[in-house]
Structure 1
Amino acid sequence: MIIERSTEWKEGFIERLENREAWDNWTLYTMSYDVVKMNLITDFQGLQSPKYLPTLTPLAHQLEVAETVIERMNGKAILADEVGLGKTIEAGLILKEYLIRGLVKKALILVPASLTNQWIEELNQKFHIPAMQYRKNYDLNHCTIVVMSIDMAKRSPHKEKIYEQDYDLIIIDEAHKLKNHKTKNYEFVQNLKKKFCLLLTATPIQNNVFELFYLISLLKPGHLGNYESFQASFSASKHDVEQEEYLKELVNQVMVRNRRQDTGIEWTNRHVEIIPIDFTKEEKEVYDMISELPTVSPVFSDAFSMITLQREMCSSKEATCLTLTNMREKCIKPEDSSYIDEIIHKAMALEINSKAEKAYEIVSRANGKVIIFTEYRASQTYLQWYLHSKGITSVLFNGKLNKNKREWMKQLFKEKAQVLIATESGSEGINLQFCYHVINYDLPWNPMKLEQRIGRVHRLGQENDVHIYNLAIQNTIEDHILDLLYVKIGVFEKVVGELDDILSAFKKTI
């Protein structure tokens, strides 16, 4: 290949010089000058990103969160606003700001699989950030802003490919699912190379205070000491801590949390009540027979299985009999299987489900659409049949539905059905502001799951007061669940801050 030097520049230069012509187009020069001047960032204080977002008007608290994380927390923070206050918007603002300032060139966003489309849509449409969803054949060296399911990311060969990358910013949605250092999710995130890190969760404490310790240790190792010193310094146990004011001060150095009442936005009210229910004599008899299982045979001494059966009996005979049938197949002695057969026979003969009747009563007098949350798919199917027999239309929502079916069920609920019957998967990643009645048909062990459920409807855009009905069978395992829920709410409020009502309008003193 022959390379020749061009002399055109010299000829043009001499011509302009001798004829005193303009060196270039003055209008183009001034326009270029203005563009460069506009893009200069002369002060690190304050946000530059809002002026580059013409289709987005962030709320005051969202802008304040972004400023706080960037200016005071050095890009390492837990975004813990209450459900529905826009943590995704806050994370998007922080990412956009770092991109504009040139501090982030490569970012990884890890989310539950059901939320990948939502994240990509928001980043592209609201923030004009060219985020892309990871595919198996993608070369991560050429992907700058990637949204990925955390379940996919932690598996080989994706995990190894991700570990090879140097990310400037990692964002983790639903960060409470990392739980602690023993989970694969936590281990995976801990080993990522990252300069900045955002953990998004409205519920940084789910079941015990050590979950918050591990989240903070991901962001700032040693900020709360190691496990042993943290436990000793705050006399920490699962559901209690001492010196909570000092601990809260340390936590607030890495966590930003806004409550609805702090935002200056006018919110509709939340009406919450616990509705006690009595079993019929026949239902109680079956429940007592289940409770007696461990005394009948050592085969049934597994406490977890017994508690599960008791909870299922408080939900539906269908859920109960499904588990009992599975247990029966594992029985070796004839007397063990015959006792289970007797329970199944008595359960299937029940003609009344007291809790389902109460749920129907609430639905029939509700002036609007209703979400019913249950823990069991068998109960979900039963409730749909039961409500149908009463002339009430409903749709199901559970983890078996793919993304398209989830959207279809949501649309059917909005336009056709009166009731959405959801398992726990329905309390995440779906916004239902057009509904304002929630029945917690089965109570979870975790109070934050209640907050997540309620947050599906009590969020920005809700125009009606929200009504929450917590059903509980008296003199059963559900009494114990209620007591434990209040204990866990207590430790959350000690360390993180006040919660909106999720069980009843009156706080129970333990």
Structure 2
Amino acid sequence: MNIERSSNWREDFNKRLEENGPWDSWSLYKMSYEIEKMNLIPEFSGLQAPKFLTNLMFLPHQMEAAQTVIEKMNGKAILADEVGLGKTIEAGLIMKEYMIRGLVKKALILVPASLQNQWVTELNVRFFIPAIPYRKNTPLDQYDVVIMSMDTAKKSPHREKIYEQDYDMIIIDEAHKLKNHKTQIYEFVQSLKKKFCLLLTATPIQNDVFEIFYLVSLLKPGHLGNFESFQSSFSATKHTLKEEKYLKELVNQVMVRNRRQDTGIEWTSRKVQTIPVIFTEGEREIYDMIFDLKNVSSVFKSSFTMVTLLKEMCSSKEATFLTLNKMLEKCITKEETDYIESIIAKMMTLEVNSKAEKVLEIIEAANDKVLIFTEYRATQAYLQWYLYTKGISSSLFNGKFSKSKRDWVKQLFRERDQVLIATESGGEGINLQFCHHVINYDLPWNPMKIEQRIGRVHRLGQEHDVHIYNLAIEDTIEQKILDLLGDKIDVFEKVVGDLDAILAT
């Protein structure tokens, strides 16, 4: 078979010469010229992306953060702005800049499942980056920018498919979830090839100082030495350390952190109160019986189980009952069974929840929208029932909800209900600037969880002072939690920087 070369182009070209056109559009030529000129920039300074993103108004701190990461940190950085300052915008701007300069083509973005669609929308609509959400059979080799949930990425067969790709940039949102080298997601991220890598978290230290060591080691292995040298150099334990100024200096070489007060934007204030709650005699009796469980049998000597039960009793009898009921199945002797059944019987006679009554007082005094955070779904359901009996409308919000249901519940809270009762995972990634009151019904061990909770309402667009109420039952485990929260905040401020108010002084 003979292949002949077409000569049509010559005839077409001669015709255009004779008729003086039509030639290519002058505007298309100018655009092509600009792109070529951009690729010939002799110095890698200044940002090119903003002039192509005319639909976005970048705040000065966002531009500075992007420039610092690109020019001084070689595209490997922790973006640790306080909640609500636009870390997603900064990451999108950095990615766009590298794409325009031809340094990034393929990118993988790992996020909590609840934020996957939000990231897809943000990158496509705001940055004109054609990102797609990863689904079960998405062919990774056919798409350049993929957004995937952390939980999916770390498991087979998805993990192996990712390892086969050659990504130019990795972005991880809510990077504090990596925690340490023992978690599956940390090991997975550590194994990825990372030409450029961004870790996004407002809370790079959540529970202990070693978390910052592991995050920095992902970006620059050896920057803080190995684990043993880090531990000895800074006399580091979970909640104490020395030479914190030197450590802070090293961390700041790979971390950008903007605080609200540094942005030049006028922010509303936080009004934080710790509200003491006193158990009734009946509640105290049950609490003490649970505390004595460890003396009944070795089955109940697990400190984790005991702490869980004590915390649940400070929340609601409903949450406590579910755990006690499971423990009945593990009982070996009749004495153990009888003791637990006696606790359950006493719980069934309880008619008062002192903490719920305090919540009602706060809601009635606020006379406004109120966001409540609890750690237990059983408590969530109880609070909704209790408030309903008092004529107060509420919605529930937790991590099991689909994207559409989350949006629907948020709309209900905005337009109909006075109260939204959320669990920790449910509150992740939801923005509620129209609400100005937050009740921490159950206190977490981790102060950064409180910061994340408050950040749902105290963020860009909030026009009112935000009132935070931390409830703590006197002479219970919640008093110990308050003390430990103070120690953890102290470590965070020594290494990362000052925090906005979380606890009352």
Aligned residue for 1:46? 46
Alignment partner, residue 381 of structure 2: 381
The whole-number CA distance in structure 1 between the counterparts of 2:353 and 2:8 is 92
In structure 2, give the amino acid aligned to 1:92: G
SS in 2 for 1:426: coil
Q: Deviations over 1:395-431 (max 9, x none)?
A: 1111221222111111111111100011111231100
Shift of 1:469: 0.1
Find the counterpart in structure 2 of residue 281 from structure 1: 281
- Distance in 1 (CA, whole Å) between partners of 2:136 and 2:298 is 49
Q: Encode CA deviations 1:312-362: one digit per residue, 9 max, x unaligned.
A: 111111111121111112112111111111111111211111110000000
> Structure 2 CA distance, aligned partners of 1:339 and 1:32?
82
Map 1:163-202 → 2, pairs under 5 A: 163-202=163-202
- In the TM superposition, residue 154 of structure 1 has moved relative to its aligned partner by 1.1
Partner secondary structure for residue 272 of structure 1: strand
Contact 1:248 1:496 in 2 (8 A): yes
TM-score computed with the length of structure 1 as normaliser: 0.95
**RMSD, matched Cα:** 1.6
SS of residue in 2 equivalent to 1:434:
coil
Q: How far is 1:37 from its partner?
A: 2.9
* Contact kept in structure 2, 1:113 and 1:150, CA below 8 Å: yes
Task: Structure 2: give runs of 5+ residues left out of the alignment.
Answer: none
SS in 2 for 1:194: coil
Structure 1 residue 207: Cα displacement:
0.3
One-letter identity of the residue aligned with 1:278: I
1:409 paired with 2:409, answer: yes
Match of 2:250 in 1: 250
Q: Any conservation in 2 of the 1:473–1:479 contact (CA below 8 Å)? A: yes
Q: 1:445 to 1:2 in 2, by over 3 A?
A: same
- Is 1:339 the counterpart of 2:339? The answer is yes
Number of residue-to-residue matches in the alignment: 501
- Aligned residue number for residue 232 of structure 1: 232
1:271 aligns to 2:271 (yes or no): yes
Q: Does 1:443 align with 2:443?
A: yes
- What is the aligned partner in structure 2 of residue 124 from structure 1? 124
> 1:80–1:255: 8 Å Cα contact kept in structure 2?
yes
Whole-angstrom distance in 1 between the partners of 2:102 and 2:355? 57
> Match of 1:211, as an amino acid?
E
Tell me how far apart the structure 2 counterparts of residues 10 and 96 of structure 1 sit (CA, whole Å).
40
- Unaligned 5+ runs, structure 1: none
Q: Using the alignment, how far apart are the partners of 1:414 and 1:201 within structure 2?
A: 27
CA distance in 2 between counterparts of 1:491 and 1:52 reads 42
User: Alpha carbons of 1:14 and 1:465: their partners in 2 closer, same or farther (altered >3 Å)?
Assistant: closer
**CA–CA separation in structure 2 for the residues paired with 1:15 and 1:301:** 93
Change (3 A) 1:114 1:336: same
Q: After TM superposition, list the pairs within 5 Å mapping 1:394-473 onto structure 2.
A: 394-473=394-473
Scaled by the length of structure 2, the TM-score of the pair is 0.96
- For residue 319 of structure 1, what is the aligned residue in structure 2? 319
- How many Å separate the matches in 2 of 1:383 and 1:113? 27
- Kept in 2, the 8 Å contact 1:244–1:495? The answer is yes
What secondary structure, in the 3-state scheme, does the structure 1 residue paired with 2:168 have?
A: strand
Which SS does the other structure have where 1:493 is aligned?
A: helix
Name the CA distance, whole Å, in 2 between partners of 1:123 and 1:14. Answer: 45
SS at structure 1 position matched to 2:417: coil
Distance 1:89 1:451 in 2: 20
Which residue of structure 1 lines up, in the alignment, with residue 31 of structure 2?
35
Contact 2:397 2:427 in 1 (8 A): no
Asked if the contact 1:384–1:421 (Cα under 8 Å) also holds between the matched residues in 2, the reply is yes
Shift of 1:66: 0.5
Contact 2:372 2:441 survives alignment (8 Å): yes
State the 1:34 CA deviation.
1.9
Whole-angstrom distance in 2 between the partners of 1:449 and 1:84: 14
* Deviation of 1:295 (Å): 1.4
Q: How does 1:74-113 map to 2 (within 5 A)?
A: 74-113=74-113
In the TM superposition, what is the alpha-carbon distance from 1:282 to its structure 2 partner? 1.4
> Would the aligned equivalents of 1:166 and 1:194 in 2 still touch at CA under 8 Å?
no
Deviation by residue 1:168-218 (Cα, 9 ceiling, x = unmatched): 000000000000111000011111122000000000001001111000000
